[in-house]
Amino acid sequence: MSKPKLSLQEQLLKSGLASSAQAKKAQADKRKQTKMQTKNNVTVVDEAKELALKAQAEKAERDRELNQQRRQQEAHKELAAQVKQLVEQNRQRQDPDGVAYRFTDNNKVKTLYISETLRNHISKGRAAVVKFERAYEVVNADTAQKIRERLPDCVIVYFPAEAEAAKPAEDDPYAAFAVPDDLLW
């Protein structure tokens, strides 16, 4: 036989932790409160509920922000994997006995040893220098454009064909002085 379950109030009375006067007073207060709510259409503010709802909303906002950051990181990793694949499949062979091609990356002069034809391709916009995983590689212009669309910071040296076609401004004081494309420094 199971014992009937007692309410908290009855349990407190039975154990002697509360008196019957306290129980009656609690019941009266509760009745008054519900009567006031129905009579005046006033809701009693429950601070604990408000705090719980506020904490739940803050947690949901934090979770949303963390999920967004996680998605951005995953998207960046996916783009980096695509760039890595493009570089590995389309890199041009470097020639250790070739011509030194110097370029700047973050205000530091870097050097690649490549063939003369590859250097000419870079200066004419048919090839580009890209940086990926601390290494510099030479890729063709189409690949450089695809890499630039995914991760623009990876493309270090790229002279697109449209830039050559662009005409200098009319008020350019140095328009008469052409800079050679094949200038070695």
Mean pLDDT of 23-37: 86
Within-domain flag for 105: yes
**pLDDT above 60 (res 168):** no
Residue 10: what pLDDT? 84
Within-domain flag for 155: yes
Within-domain flag for 144: yes
What is the count of structural domains for the chain? Answer: 1
- As a whole number of angstroms, the distance between CA 133 and CA 96 comes to 20
Average of per-residue pLDDT values in the chain? 84
**pLDDT above 60 (res 165):** no
Within-domain flag for 38: no
Mean pLDDT of 118-123: 88
Within-domain flag for 90: yes
Within-domain flag for 22: no
For residues 90 and 69, the answer to whether their CB atoms sit within 8 Å is no
Within-domain flag for 84: yes
